[in-house]
Chains A and B, each alone.
Chain A
């Protein structure tokens, strides 16, 4: 089984921020947290990754808890094109959990 747990689904309104949580309570000290998303009828694509510090890129931000047992993917302004299934995985594990299906309402 995957070492991460996420809510099955979340909804957001367009143009609003979205916070997607992930629990990884058994994470090891050297394990990176990776986030991927899968748009309908496509393979997964990389979003962001981090180890301890919060990370930002053009797609999203990643906030990592101080104890590293959880993290949150932040989409600052959700668009309809962000509707997808979002997965967090641990780099040393490579197994995907069920992910969170994000619905964005116009």
Chain B
């Protein structure tokens, strides 16, 4: 399966500051996504991270608040800007390998990172 790591695993941040979350995949994968999961809730898709172009954001999420970088096919960052307590959540990156992508990964199965638990005080 695709091995995904995220940094940091958790953080406690002050209101008004920004945090950048890193997502590293062990092989090249075209499709990468960022989700958040608030306590007791389902996953909400934030955006699709596109390599070499701007991310595609879901309704309710904007680039100024959640800037995303995707410099290559194995790495992405999500920044949570000007944080408020409402941003406290688990942030997860995921990948969806196409056929031939992902070392040992099965095509068209989504693999998730371990998540970054963010608490904003």
Say if A and B assemble together.
Answer: yes
Residues of A within 8 A of B (CB): 32, 34, 36, 43-46, 49, 85, 87, 91, 94-99
B96 contacts across to A, CB distance below 8 A = 94
**Interface residue tally of chain B, by bracket?**
20 to 34
4 tightest Cβ-Cβ pairs between the two chains A and B: A43-B112, A46-B109, A96-B43, A96-B42
Cα separation A77 to B54 with both chains bound (whole Å): 45
Cα separation A44 to B90 with both chains bound (whole Å): 12
A96 x B45 contact (CB < 8 A): yes
Q: Pick the contact of B44 from A46, A91, A96 — CB < 8 Å? A: A96
B110 x A34 contact (CB < 8 A): yes
Cα separation A32 to B111 with both chains bound (whole Å): 16
Number of A-B contacts (CB under 8 A): 41
Cα separation A26 to B45 with both chains bound (whole Å): 19
Instruction: Other than A95-B44, A99-B42, give 6 A-B pairs with Cβ distance below 8 A.
Output: A44-B110, A46-B106, A46-B111, A94-B96, A96-B45, A98-B42
Assess whether B33 is interfacial by the CB under 8 Å rule.
yes
The minimal Cβ–Cβ distance linking B91 to chain A, given in whole angstroms, is 11
Cα separation A96 to B35 with both chains bound (whole Å): 10
